[in-house]
């Protein structure tokens, strides 16, 4: 800014000793004035661009770190899931071994042998077939060896245990089941499970060693998907300074054991898992690939487990999201910079035309400085007050409005009709996005009316039945007669649908979804025990399911935005947060009770009011679209004023345009004919839409008023609730909605 002012000062002021004529000639030189104008525009554009890029960078970096952390947590969760699968398999192997040792007849034979009542050959003849039959408990069992209480082999069926591998014999008198392995036998790998056989006197009379195939365990680990193309699960066993990996890898698909040093990234991760540690590490493999390894503790075996994945694949979704966000931010920054340039061009052009002489140069210099400062202030205030919703909806109004009108004019077979339909669909998707942003931040406009919640439930029941599926039955227990509430019917429906979706997901095997209503009186004692509650009469809306319930550890977080207990990709974590926001915006309260395995109940309390509910379809609508009224359109966006004119003038309306409140009042004072309707934007510079409507009502009391905006900024709404008697049309504007609102208010006067 100082550089700009210095250039202006040097260019607009004549040097000392120069004649006035020479000074004027110097100031009026076209190339000097053009240089000043370009310097101002370029400097302002680069300044705004630099600030925007810095703000974007500061915003994106923490988001990028958080998204990467979420991906790492997902990888850790994948490791935990696979660990649970392996532990469950080993537990099943132990159960099979215990079933074999607990077989009564062969146990008694062994006791008889130990007492010397039968000979060895009789023991073998009797126990052999029985143990062979026990192998049928699982096709993974390939051998059983029965040992005496001293550890000597007695009976063997199937494959014998490896001679060089120590047998898994539990400590004397212990009921522990011991697992050894993997071990090599006849070019294949197995693992051994050993358990004592306890006699009638609760004393060990022998030991069974069961030989299991390791193939099923390897398949279990391999069959878990969700790790992409580079992800793999690794199981390993320590051996001095090496780790034996015995699950398939990308380089070994034959289930052979791969031995790696313990000081490699994979070896270190497996070793930490064996030490019952949990963590994530990033390392570079010998082939140059950067990998991330997640590991965790494993019970029931001296094994370790890790999940490995290339960092490039793990972080690729994060990178795509960040690139998309960066592109959007850069586009917005460029549009803002372009707006500054377009704003500066007329200012600098005026400076170029009007500068003449020392005095004129000084005045224009001061004027330009003031205009620059004021422009920056207005830009900052405009961004804070209007927000993204206001500006973006103006753009969408033009896109949707002109697309809608063009589609009406074009014949069905016109070659560009499909392209215009695509433009209109994109505009409507953008409008939906803006509404979602406003709803999530609890700044959406609520259309409050006296409603009967029982009517809303009955009207929505069919949709809810389809939504929850055939396995879940919907039960309505609405009180016969309840008092009305002041609410937005659409938001009450949103509450019911969000809770129904959560209940459906909590009942994968089916169940009941129960919706109840009742009148309750919350007394002073209740209010003192519940923060924010005022004593009085409330309508209770209760939604109950018979599902899995909510774990106590997460109950405090269920209303937090983006918190979810669902699997990755199956929940956004916004459902209950949105319900909470809607209830609070209706001056209500929400609590829940839940027990794991015992279902969940959400209790919503809404203040009751007295009056008759407005039922759907009560209000009459007219099919008339044409009119002859004079309408004054007030909007600071010329594109919106032209759009409204193009929508209404073909239907017979007379349109007057004003860019702001003062212009509208001046136009009204100079216009001698009646103005039947004032159509004004809510967010205006200087005088907002509400102030304009009040002043206009004083001068023309018969004129009706319709407000339009994409974001009211609490000008005509308090906490998102429209003030009584306000007629509001939400941007983006469409011809059908706008004409319907105009005809409704104008026809009501007749």
DSSP letter string, 578-600: HHHHHHHHTT-EEEEEE-TTS-E
- pLDDT at residue 622 above 60? no
**If you search the block for the tokens 């101002």, which residue do you land on?**
40
Task: Please report the DSSP string for 449-467 in residue order.
Answer: EEE-HHHHHHHHHHHHHHH
Indicate the SS3 state at residue 107: helix
Side-by-side strand order, sheet with 677-681: 654-658, 630-634, 677-681, 704-709, 728-730
Note the pLDDT of residue 3: 41
Alpha carbon distances (Å) from 624 to 123, 621, 740: 102, 9, 8
Note the pLDDT of residue 584: 83
d(CA 116, CA 119): 7
d(CA 332, CA 187): 65
Note the pLDDT of residue 157: 93
Residue 191 in tokens: 């693992």
d(CA 183, CA 160): 12
324 or 252, greater pLDDT: 324
Phi-psi region at 186: left, alpha or beta (left = phi > 0; alpha = psi -120 to 50): left
d(CA 668, CA 130): 106
500, 464 contact by CB (below 8 A) = yes
d(CA 676, CA 682): 19
d(CA 242, CA 246): 13
Q: What percent of the chain has pLDDT over 90?
A: 16
- pLDDT at residue 645 above 70? yes
Tell me 446's DSSP state. Answer: B
Q: How do beta strands 717-718 and 654-658 pair?
A: unpaired
Whether the ω angle into residue 409 lies within 30 degrees of 0, i.e. cis, is: no
Alpha carbon distances (Å) from 229 to 295, 364, 369, 479: 19, 66, 60, 56
d(CA 543, CA 504): 12
Residue closest to 581 by CA, chosen among 715, 448, 443: 443
Q: Which residues pair with 485 in a beta bridge?
A: 451, 608
478, 517 contact by CB (below 8 A) = yes
Indicate the SS3 state at residue 644: helix
Q: Is the pTM of this model over 0.75?
A: no
C-alpha dihedral over 725, 727, 731, 736, to 10 degrees?
150
d(CA 344, CA 38): 10
Question: Considering only 109-113, 483-487, 578-582, which range has the smallest mean pLDDT?
Answer: 578-582
User: Taking the CA atoms of the chain, what radius of gyration do you get in angstroms?
Assistant: 39
| pLDDT mean across residues, the chain | 80
pLDDT tens figures, 666-677: 999 999 899 999
Note the pLDDT of residue 371: 46
pLDDT tens figures, 472-518: 999 999 888 888 998 888 889 889 988 998 889 888 889 999 999 99
Alpha carbon distances (Å) from 259 to 256, 266, 267, 628, 693: 10, 11, 9, 89, 82
d(CA 222, CA 64): 31
Looking at residues 692-700, what average pLDDT do you find?
90
pLDDT level of residue 361 (50, 70, 90 thresholds): low
d(CA 158, CA 569): 47
pLDDT tens figures, 150-182: 888 999 999 999 888 888 899 988 889 998 878
Note the pLDDT of residue 331: 83
Looking at residues 52-69, what average pLDDT do you find?
84
Note the pLDDT of residue 20: 36
Residue closest to 644 by CA, chosen among 626, 686, 653, 445: 653
Q: What percent of the chain has pLDDT over 70?
A: 80
Burial class of residue 323 in the structure, from the number of CB atoms within 10 Å of its CB (0-12 exposed, 13-18 middle, 19+ buried): exposed
Tell me 546's DSSP state. Answer: -
244, 251 contact by CB (below 8 A) = no
Question: Considering only 403-412, 475-484, 661-670, which range has the smallest mean pLDDT?
Answer: 403-412
Helix (H) / strand (E) containing 745: helix 735-747
Domains detected in the chain: 102-217 (3.30.450), 225-314 (3.30.450), 453-609 (3.30.565.10), 630-747 (3.40.50.2300)
Looking at residues 233-243, what average pLDDT do you find?
85
Q: Which residues pair with 708 in a beta bridge?
A: 681, 729
Looking at residues 59-83, what average pLDDT do you find?
87
**If you search the block for the tokens 């916004």, which residue do you land on?**
574
- pLDDT at residue 465 above 80? yes
């Amino acid at each position: 800014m100082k550089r700009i002012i210095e250039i202006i000062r040097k260019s607009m002021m004549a040097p000392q000793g120069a004649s006035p004529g020479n000074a004027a000639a110097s100031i009026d030189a076209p190339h000097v004035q053009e240089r000043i104008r370009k310097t101002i525009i370029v400097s302002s554009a680069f300044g705004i661009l630099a600030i925007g890029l810095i703000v974007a960078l500061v915003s994106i970096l923490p988001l990028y770190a958080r998204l990467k952390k979420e991906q790492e947590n997902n990888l850790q969760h994948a490791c935990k899931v696979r660990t649970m699968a392996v532990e469950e398999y080993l537990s099943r192997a132990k159960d099979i071994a215990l079933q074999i040792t607990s077989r009564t007849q062969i146990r008694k034979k062994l006791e008889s042998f130990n007492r010397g009542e039968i000979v060895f050959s009789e023991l073998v003849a009797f126990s052999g077939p029985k143990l062979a039959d026990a192998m049928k408990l699982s096709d993974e069992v390939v051998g059983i060896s029965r040992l005496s209480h001293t550890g000597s082999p007695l009976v063997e069926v199937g494959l014998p245990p490896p001679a060089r591998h120590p047998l898994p014999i539990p400590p004397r008198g212990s009921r522990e089941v011991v697992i050894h392995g993997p071990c090599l036998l006849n070019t294949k790998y197995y693992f051994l499970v050993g358990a004592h056989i306890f006699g009638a006197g609760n004393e060990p009379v022998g030991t069974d060693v069961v030989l299991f195939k390791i193939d099923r365990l390897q398949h279990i680990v391999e069959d878990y998907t969700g790790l992409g193309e580079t992800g793999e699960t690794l199981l390993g066993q320590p051996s001095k300074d090496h780790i034996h990996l015995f699950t398939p890898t990308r380089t070994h698909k034959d289930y052979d054991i791969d031995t790696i040093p313990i000081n490699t990234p994979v070896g270190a991760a497996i070793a930490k898992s064996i030490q019952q540690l949990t963590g994530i590490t990033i390392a570079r493999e010998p082939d140059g690939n950067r990998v991330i390894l997640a590991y965790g503790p494993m019970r029931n075996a001296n094994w370790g487990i890790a999940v490995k994945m290339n960092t490039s694949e793990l972080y690729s979704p994060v990178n795509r999201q960040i690139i998309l966000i960066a592109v959007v931010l850069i586009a917005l920054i460029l549009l803002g910079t372009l707006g500054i340039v377009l704003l500066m061009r007329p200012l600098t052009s005026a400076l170029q035309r009007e500068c003449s002489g020392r005095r004129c140069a000084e005045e224009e210099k001061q004027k330009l400085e003031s205009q620059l400062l004021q422009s920056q202030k207005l830009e900052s205030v405009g961004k804070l007050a209007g927000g993204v919703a206001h500006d973006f909806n103006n753009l969408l109004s033009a896109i949707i409005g002109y697309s809608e009108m063009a589609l009406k004019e074009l014949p069905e077979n016109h070659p560009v009709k499909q392209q215009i339909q695509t433009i209109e669909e994109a505009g409507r998707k953008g409008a939906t996005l803006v509404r979602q942003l406003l709803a999530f931040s609890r700044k959406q406009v609520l259309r409050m009316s006296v409603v009967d919640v029982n009517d809303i439930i009955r009207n929505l029941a069919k949709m809810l039945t389809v939504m929850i599926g055939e396995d879940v039955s919907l039960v309505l227990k609405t009180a016969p007669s309840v008092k009305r509430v002041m609410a937005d019917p659409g938001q009450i429906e949103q509450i019911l649908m969000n809770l129904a979706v959560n209940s459906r997901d909590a009942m994968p095997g089916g169940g009941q979804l129960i919706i109840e209503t009742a009148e309750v009186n919350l007394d002073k004692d209740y209010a003192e025990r519940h923060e924010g509650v005022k004593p009085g009469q409330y309508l209770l809306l209760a939604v109950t399911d018979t599902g899995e319930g909510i774990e106590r550890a997460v109950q405090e977080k269920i209303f937090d935005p983006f918190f979810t207990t669902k699997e990755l990709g199956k929940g956004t974590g916004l459902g209950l947060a949105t319900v909470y926001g809607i209830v609070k915006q209706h001056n209500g309260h929400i609590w829940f009770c839940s027990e794991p395995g015992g279902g969940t109940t959400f209790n919503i309390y809404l203040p009751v009011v007295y009056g008759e509910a407005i039922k759907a379809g009560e209000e009459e609508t007219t099919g008339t679209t044409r009119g002859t009224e004079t309408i004054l359109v007030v909007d600071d966006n010329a594109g919106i004023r032209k759009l409204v004119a193009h929508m209404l003038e073909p239907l017979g309306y007379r349109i007057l345009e004003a860019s702001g409140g003062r212009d509208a009042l001046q136009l009204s004072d100079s216009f001698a004919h009646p103005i039947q309707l004032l159509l004004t934007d809510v967010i205006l510079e200087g005088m907002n839409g509400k102030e304009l409507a009040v002043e206009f009502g004083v001068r023309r009391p018969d004129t009706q008023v319709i407000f339009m905006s994409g974001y009211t900024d609490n000008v005509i709404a308090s906490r998102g609730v429209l003030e009584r008697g306000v007629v509001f049309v939400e941007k983006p504007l469409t011809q059908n909605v706008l004409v319907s609102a105009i005809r409704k208010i104008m026809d009501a006067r007749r």
